[in-house]
Amino acid sequence: MRRGAIELELPEQEVVPDGAGGWTVQVRRRLDVESWNAEMSLLTGMAAARMMLTAGVGLLRTLPAPEPDALAAFRRAVGQLGVEWPGGTSVAELLAGLPADDRAALAVRRAATALLRGAGYAAFDASAGLAPPEDPGHGGIGAPYTHVTAPLRRLADRFGTEVCLAVAAGEELPDWLRAALPDLPEIMATSDTLAGKVDRACVDRTEAALLAPRVGEEFDAVVLRPTGPEGEPGEVYVPAPPVLARCTGRLAAGTLVKVRLTEANPATGRMEFTAT
């Protein structure tokens, strides 16, 4: 929190077997040991980023600090939700102090996602005239950061780890590694986008398959995003089953509403609710 690191703690959906040969969606419950592992991974990534910046070569995971307009919009959203924001309290401190199961708090966390936009990768190599970014930090972590702890599942970690191994040993980077660095940000951007789309599609289609027989029914829902000024659909969270979906009608963020399921298409994953 002192660094300004932002932790959203939004409900995380996952597709799991339903015990009857099919699939269902549930909110993922993180074990304490997973949180400890995540903290060690973040610490390792921060240490690796410092090694890279000191050596003048590497691949950072970057996220710019929120723009003033985004911060102003978030502050307005917090006020509209009736959540107190004490003077001198940072965004990190505000989010960390929110209750876990409050409707308004859930909507505040959803609104805070607008502060974490623009993530990317930045390659640099002083010996080749490729300078590090002017702002090497990661806004969600509050420090420079890089991916190095999952080389078996993420390409960037494979190269980042090799950079750190060479730096720690006082050796020159292998030619194949130095040659690959400039191309990695674009490759990773494409890879991350595709992985995100596949993950979302799996959840969306499972949700739609679960709810397809229930089109026309009413559900309790928490409004995460209000209806747009031009009538654009808002977003609601239905706790049972745990579903995030667009919703039409008059919606005010942070409120509990009744919504009717109007569409659930397992072939496309498209779902829509309407406020009743």
Q: What is the pLDDT of residues 223-264, one digit of tens each?
A: 888 888 888 899 998 988 888 899 999 888 888 899 999 999
Q: Which CATH superfamily is domain 215-275 in?
A: Nucleic acid-binding proteins (2.40.50.140)
Residue 110 pLDDT class (50, 70, 90 cuts): confident
Q: Identify the pLDDT of residue 13.
A: 86
Mean per-residue pLDDT of the chain: 91
Nearest-CA neighbor of 241 among 261, 265, 227, 262? 261
Provide mean pLDDT across the span 149-175: 95
The span from the CA of 12 to the CA of 70, in Å, is 24
Domain positions in the chain are 13-207, 215-275
Largest separation between any pair of C-alpha atoms in the chain = 66
Provide mean pLDDT across the span 6-30: 87
Q: Residue 91: pLDDT above 90?
A: yes
Q: Identify the pLDDT of residue 210.
A: 92
The span from the CA of 88 to the CA of 120, in Å, is 30
Q: What is the pLDDT of residues 181-234, one digit of tens each?
A: 999 999 999 999 999 999 999 999 999 999 999 999 999 998 888 888 888 899
Q: Are 59 and 159 a contacting pair, CB within 8 Å?
A: yes
